[in-house]
Structure 1
Amino acid sequence: MGADDGQSEQSLPACRVISTKRVFPATEAEPNSAKSNKLSIIDATAARFASCAAVWLYDAGPTSDSLDALANNLENSLRLTLDNFRLFAGSLSWAPVDTRNASCPKYGRPVITWDAATDPGVEFVRAAFNAELSSLVPSESERKTSEKVWLATEFPQDDLLPKCELAFVPHLFRFEGLPVASVQVTRFTCGGWALGVKFTHCLSDAITLINFVKAWAEQSRIVMRRTRGTSSPSFESGNTKSTLLLSQSETPVFDPSLLERHACISNDTEKPDCNRIALARSLPLHRFDWWAKDAPGYPSWATADSDATKPSDAELSKIELSPSTPPPWPSWDASKPVICVQIRFTAAEVARLKKIAQAAQVETGAVRIVSRLDALLAHLWTQINRARGLHASDETVYLLLTLGLRKRVNPPLSDGFVGSPILIAHVDGSGKEISADDQNSNSNLGDIVRRMRNTMAQFTPQAVGAYMYDAAHEVCPQRLWQAFVGSRFVLVTSWARAGAYDVDFGEDQGRPRYVHARMPRMDGTLQVMDIGDSGDFDVSLALAEEDMRRLLAVDGGLWAF
């Protein structure tokens, strides 16, 4: 499984789908009780994102059930969990165009409908993988030693997730009859198993996804305790009832108005507040224009999705669009082969990086908070730019940070707030400024951390409210893109402190062997996850092949600290 053993070059066994069905809440909705709600303007900006998805992989426990018994338990506990997350069995659509302000009509606002007779339910797939789990994923001890850098390009992330389309994913114009959530339970020949969960991103960020899976796991343990010892339990909808009590911080709350009230929009037809819009547009957020067909390198595949929520050319001629910049398509060569690795940094290694960054902050007199994650990201960004050959370049490079907004508004939202309240801010500098003087130096970690903290500090409750205010006055929230990939960008998603490894379904194996966050395998995507309470970080990184080989070279600077 490592870079030297050739395992990644072999064809992995195929995953065989055994059955597919749609699952609904255990408690049926009352007749004519359908509910419908627009998603928040922030959720709407995430409609173009790839699905929010992850796979939890578990070793066989001493009393592991058969695939049928395991899947039956998971199916039944899913029904019960959906009683608390009913909208995930519902459907997404686009709201009618809002023409109350003729000079700026509103397009592209998603609407979720649930408890309706037409609900598509959650796709539930049972599958079997003709291989042992150990052939796909190193053990925990291997990840700490021989597999600290695990070549994961061939990890079959898409085989372990349902193949079905979701509403808006992968195409904004496809949503009718499609679910917003899907799950797959896969059994390996060794008795180990995997659970893949996938959501349409505008309904769920990583926090919502993990909270849902934690609630499902808790419900699974309750059901399992009640059914252990039966020879052939039958789990049909409504056969096993139990009440799941969630903590106040995790209780699901779907109310987009709790977020949008911070935008303070009193009237959709009012003249926009220029001061608030100026504040919003001063924030370090890219405004790349998906509709800019004349941009150099514009890909033809982008047109169909843009047209799904874009006014006609005749209507556009009457509308003044907000300022934007063309996406830097030429900087992303999608034809280049990409390598994906998982890099394990131990708690001690991260502590050393943090100490280096803290010392630099004190030395310059710019003492600021330095987190373990700050130090790790600063180190990785430096080394990635060197591997890309940008250490002597005056060209601007970008670290794109995904920021959660639940705690960036006042009063803050609970962790149980359902949706995708995120923004993607950027830290920038020239390749020369961001890269160390030499590959074995971390002399610039303090400066990079300072830049990161300065960026994040700008997203005050007032600024976040101003951003939402400005976004609400956009013709279409899917037009502007805050992210990019390719040779000058590193796009960061952090699942630190989200508790992804604290998911126990009661199958006697405890913590997962591995949790895989499904990320697009594109040049420059980086995801960080903490490993339970170990203090270790697991970094998932995709880079162009040549750049990755330079990054991982024995004489490189990845471990030079």
Structure 2
Amino acid sequence: MVAEAKQNGVATMAGSKAQLMSVKRREPALVSPAEATPTGEQYYLSNLDQNIAVIVQTVYCFKCPSGRGNEGAADALRAALARVLVHYHPLAGRLGISPEMKLTVECTGEGVPFVEAEAACDLALIGDLSTPDPAALGQLVYSVPGAKNILEMPPMTAQVTRFKCGGFSLGLAMNHCMFDGLGAMEFVNSWAEMARGATELTVPPFLDRSVLRPRAPPVISNPHYEFEEIADVSEMAALYGRQELMYRSFCFDPDRLERVRGLALADGDLEKCTTFEALSGLVWRARTRALGLAPEQQTKLLFAVDGRRRFVPPLPKGYFGNGIVLTNALATAGDLLSSPVSRAAGKVQEAVRMVTDEYMRSAVDYFEATRARPSLASTLLITTWSRLAFNGADFGWGEPTMSGPVTLPEKEVILFLAHGKERKSINVLLGLPASAMDAFQELMDEI
């Protein structure tokens, strides 16, 4: 299955969808914690939080059960948000800069912008959220007008949109510096628990991020190529500048995923291989070919590894913050394309094994010493939501019928998203220049 949308010169179907939705927003209101919370202090963000301060927009869609409309949805979610913010009070603050010139949260308690809206269509018009669609889905998420940088944006916003059919959507814009995917899932599920009447959270947040403070003095014990700048000898910047960015999603059902693993294991170079390793190797190689990179072009694969259980000691249950660490693999385009899939999958495997407690603490210390940011030049960044159970977000109207991202945060990002009721399939979402997308499509059709 392939779904498509275009950015800038928006495809006709996507453009008409955006027009038909015609979402009308009310003025935002601030939702503050329902009880007094600490104010007047700065909330520490770790070095793992500093490097991923990007806004992630997601949408959850709900069909109302028979006999129950959507009239009370906004009020219920607003009241539950106030209660859950007592536990997650930094989300009610505002981002600032610490004396050390790092991002921090000013604990002001002023609240989360909450918007009610109405769409002039049924929920069915949205489709299945299998492909990012900024023009249409962006109407379901509130962005602060005129904000020039993240310091002018709150850590999160929420928008509840009612549809003519009786369904509704919850659109969230959340700064990645506040939590990674698992942390965001635990927050949304905790919010849903409060909406269903819970008085205690199943997984209370552990707020103290100082457990990830850098060592003094910093100890950089590993190479960190994730920060390395790579020369663009293939003139990719020019290609992206000439052609519009097209989004497509490619569905890998269990049978297709097994074929991908079979490709990675076919020549016997790897004794075993996970689905993630095989699929990552496949798309890294296919994207490299589709973009027509020069054989001597150095390429970098970045992906996040959950460090919660890899740290020594492990991070506390409910850790509120980013517990993920970027790892990397390097190869020239010529090496990738002249070798079987096992070569790329093996490099992914090596990158996973590299993530030890010492590697992660070295990464924390590397930022402390250099303040470097990961470079995305000639890079593919894979992020995976395939293990996140966002479908458990039942606010009292049942589980969401679908959920997904509004857009991808950067053109270099590919997202792995669980698909289907049993979540055994994986949707691969990506954006490429038009000519490269057609080439990538042909490569995927061969699987």
* Overall identity of the aligned pairs, in %: 20
1:228-247 per-residue CA deviation (whole Å, 9 max, x = no partner) reads xxxxxxxxxxxxxx51231x
Kept in 2, the 8 Å contact 1:526–1:542? The answer is yes
Contact 1:217–1:503 (CA<8 Å) still a contact in 2? yes
Q: Could you list the per-position Cα deviations for residues 346-372 of structure 1 after superposition, in whole angstroms to 9, with x for gaps in the alignment?
A: 122112212332343xx12x424x211
**Secondary structure, in 3 states, of the residue corresponding to 1:285?**
helix
Q: Does 1:452 align with 2:355?
A: no
> Which amino acid in the other structure matches residue 389 of structure 1?
G
**2:61 is the alignment partner of 1:57:** yes
Larger Rg: 1
With over 3 angstroms needed to count, the CA separation of the structure-2 counterparts of 1:165 and 1:414, relative to structure 1, is farther
Aligned-pair distance for 1:122?
0.5
**1:524 CA displacement:** 3.0
On the 8 A contact 1:347/1:534 being kept in 2, the answer is no
Among candidates 179, 190, 195, match of residue 220 of structure 1: 195
Instruction: State the AA in 2 paired with 1:356.
Output: L
From 422, 425, 434, the equivalent of 1:536 is 425
* CA distance in 1: counterparts of 2:95 and 2:183, whole angstroms: 17
CA 1:355/1:501 → structure 2, altered by over 3 Å: closer, same or farther?
farther
Q: Does the 8 A contact of 2:298 with 2:332 survive in 1?
A: yes
The residue correspondences of 1:178-197 to structure 2 (distance < 5 A) are 179-197=154-172
The separation in 2 between residues aligned to 1:451 and 1:353, in whole angstroms, is 16
Distance 1:522 1:6 in 2: 23
Matching of residue 412 in structure 1 with residue 353 in structure 2: no
Aligned counterparts of 1:287 and 1:385: Cα–Cα separation in 2: 19
State the Cα deviation string for residues 46-85 of structure 1 (Å, max 9, x = none).
Answer: 33xx213311122343234233x11011111111111211
Match of 1:26 in 2: 34
Q: For each residue in 1:288-330, what CA deviation from the matched residue of structure 2 results, as whole angstroms up to 9, or x when unmatched?
A: 4xxxxxxxxxxxxxxxxxxxxxxxxxxxxxxxxxxxx789996
Corresponding residue for residue 204 of structure 2: 251
Alpha-carbon spacing, 1:327–1:75, altered in 2? closer, same or farther (3 Å)? farther
1:484 aligns with 2:363: no
Q: Is the 8 A contact 2:3 2:250 kept in 1?
A: no
| In structure 2, C-alpha distance between the alignment counterparts of 1:524 and 1:43, rounded to whole Å | 20
- Is it true that 1:158 corresponds to 2:150 in the alignment? no
Greater shift, 326-335 or 119-128, is seen at 326-335
Deviation at 1:449, TM superposition (A): 1.3
3-state SS of paired residue (1:12): helix
**Superposition deviation, residue 373 in structure 1:** 1.5
Matched, 1:465 2:370: no
> 1:332 corresponds to which residue?
237
Give, as a single letter, the amino acid of the residue that structure 1 aligns with 2:60.
W
Is 2:40 aligned against 1:37?
no
Residue 94 of structure 2 corresponds to 91
- Which whole-Å CA distance do the structure 2 matches of 1:558 and 1:422 have between them? 29
Return the letter of the residue paired with 1:283. Answer: H
Please give the residue correspondences for 1:272-291 in structure 2 after superposition, counting only pairs within 5 Å. Answer: 276-277=219-220, 279-280=221-222, 282-288=223-229
Correspondences of 1:323-402 after superposition (within 5 Å): 331-333=236-238, 335=241, 336-360=243-267, 363-364=268-269, 366-368=270-272, 370-390=273-293, 393-402=295-304
Other structure's SS at 1:159 match: helix
Instruction: From 420, 431, 438, give the equivalent of 2:333.
Output: 431
SS in structure 1 of the partner of residue 159 of structure 2: strand
Runs of 4+ in 1 over 4 A off after TM superposition: 1-6, 150-155, 325-330
Shift of residue 91, structure 1, vs aligned partner = 2.3
What TM-score, normalized to structure 1? 0.71
Counterparts in 2 of 1:328 and 1:388: CA distance versus 1, 3 Å: closer
CA distance in 1, matches of 2:263, 2:29: 53
| Contact 1:94–1:109 (8 Å) recurs in 2 | yes
In structure 1, C-alpha distance between the alignment counterparts of 2:134 and 2:97, rounded to whole Å: 36
| Cα 1:12–1:431 shift into 2, 3 Å | same
| Of 107, 119, 130, the match for 1:129 | 119
Equivalent residue of 2:77, what SS?
A: helix
Letter paired with 1:350: L
Q: For 2:332 and 2:31, how far apart are their aligned partners in 1?
A: 51
Deviations 1:457-498 (A, max 9, x none): 222111211222232223xx3xx221416xx43221111212
Aligned to 2:215: 264
Determine if the alignment matches structure 1 residue 171 to structure 2 residue 149.
Answer: yes
Alpha-carbon displacement from aligned partner over 1:215-259 (angstroms, at most 9, x marks no partner): 11122122xxxxxxxxxxxxxxxxxxx51231xxx3211111112
Q: Distance in 2 between matches of 1:559 and 1:256?
A: 45
Preserved contact between residue 57 and residue 406 of structure 2 (Cα < 8 Å): yes
Q: How far off its partner does 1:339 sit?
A: 0.7
In the alignment of these two chains, the number of paired residues is 436
Q: CA RMSD in A?
A: 2.9
Change (3 A) 1:255 1:127: same
- Please report the TM-score for the alignment, with normalisation by the length of structure 2: 0.88
Listed as ranges, the gaps of 5+ residues in structure 2 are 6-10
Structure 1: which 5+ residue stretches go unaligned? Answer: 98-107, 140-149, 223-241, 289-324, 438-442
Distance 2:336 2:397 in 1: 47
Query: Per the alignment, do residues 10 and 154 of structure 1 end up closer, same or farther by CA in structure 2, a change over 3 Å counting?
Result: farther
Partner Cα separation in structure 2 for residue 493 and residue 483 of structure 1: 16
C-alpha contact 2:14 2:136 (8 A) present in aligned 1: no
Hey, what's the Cα distance between the residues in 2 that align with 1:489 and 1:83? 40
Decide whether the 8 Å contact of 1:22 with 1:124 is kept in 2. Answer: yes
Aligned partners of 1:207 and 1:415 also within 8 Å: no
